Amino acid sequence: MIVVCVLLLGPSTPGDALVGRPLPAGAAAEVVPNRVMTWNLCNPCEKSNVDRAAEIATYAPQVIGLQEACTGDVKRIRDLLESLYGLVYHVEYGAVLQNWGRCGGVPWSPGGFGQALLSAAPMTDRVLVEYPDGGSEDRGYLAVTTTVDGRKVRVFNTHLAQRQQESVRVGQVRVLAAAVAEYDRAIVIGDFNATPETPELAPMWALAADTDPQCHPQTSGTCDTTTDWYSKFDYVFLRGIASLRHQVHPTAYSDHDLLQADVDLT
């Protein structure tokens, strides 16, 4: 019975409980309508979804993109945000592979693994694209239309190939940039597994700016780092949108920090 429970619950969700930890002083009281965030959850890292939900609730973004996300974990995070903190989110899943080792389930029906988007407003026109070459693991992007700062906007969430696979990321960015270029106004969030000056990110820099106005491909040293190994791999690219404020929030619940962008679409 113990083995069956492990198979059904999955290895990435230990210690989930029905009681949330108190939020720190200064936590958002409700969803912030012009706030977007990105967070690679780290998988497998055996972190509690209660703690993940508390991290998100502390900043209460209008939209958050998650990477390395199991569909079961995302559902539990969404449910915990509502039951523990009163934050109601819609969710769209962007699983690009089925992986029992990462996401549990049963061997003949493993859980989905990939990206996800949580939005306080409904999402429409969902598109999930798997890159022709994922590298060592299937990768892709999830795109939706939703509301940020009271305006409709196209939001993309992606996770590019692992850091040693520069040539693979070249093709992935080419696919992503072609999709982003179709919109005059777009938000592109995710884990790009590349620092700002790397050549493969050039098509994105040609289309959009980082939420940090001091972060450019020519001056990567001024970019805030977003990982435990002190590299900037996580981005909120803004196309046709102004950045009002950005902040990196260190966390003990992943090897990536949460990246926040407060934006102005008006």
Lowest mean pLDDT among 14-28, 71-85, 174-188, 243-257: 14-28
pLDDT band per the 50, 70, 90 thresholds, residue 16: low
User: Residue 7: what pLDDT?
Assistant: 43
pLDDT band per the 50, 70, 90 thresholds, residue 225: very high
pLDDT band per the 50, 70, 90 thresholds, residue 46: confident
Query: Which tokens go with 30?
Result: 């409700």
- Supply the pTM of this predicted model: 0.92
| SS3 assignment, position 103 | helix
For 19-23, what is the mean pLDDT?
82
**Measured CA distances, 154 to 170, 181, 188 (Å):** 23, 11, 8
User: Residue 41: what pLDDT?
Assistant: 97
Residue 242 has pLDDT above 70, yes or no: yes
* Phi, psi dihedral angles at 161 (to 5 degrees): -60, 160
Residue 100 has pLDDT above 50, yes or no: yes
What b/e sequence results for 238-248 when a residue is b if at least 16 CB atoms lie within 10 Å of its CB, and e otherwise?
bbebebeebeb
Q: Which residue has the tokens 């029992």?
A: 100
- Does residue 54 or residue 102 have the better pLDDT? 54
* Amino acid identity at 66: L
Q: Where are the alpha helices (DSSP H) in the chain?
A: 2-9, 49-59, 71-85, 100-103, 166-180, 202-207
Q: CB of 67 within 8 A of CB of 40? A: yes
Residue 133 has pLDDT above 80, yes or no: yes
pLDDT band per the 50, 70, 90 thresholds, residue 2: very low
Query: Which tokens go with 93?
Result: 């899943």
User: Residue 17: what pLDDT?
Assistant: 55
Report the side by side order of strands in the sheet with 90-98. Answer: 90-98, 112-119, 61-70, 32-40, 258-264, 242-249
Residues 6+ apart with CB under 8 A from 189: 36, 37, 38, 65, 155, 156, 157, 158, 235, 236, 237, 259
Bridge partners (DSSP) of residue 261 are 36, 246
Residue closest to 208 by CA, chosen among 233, 177, 172: 177
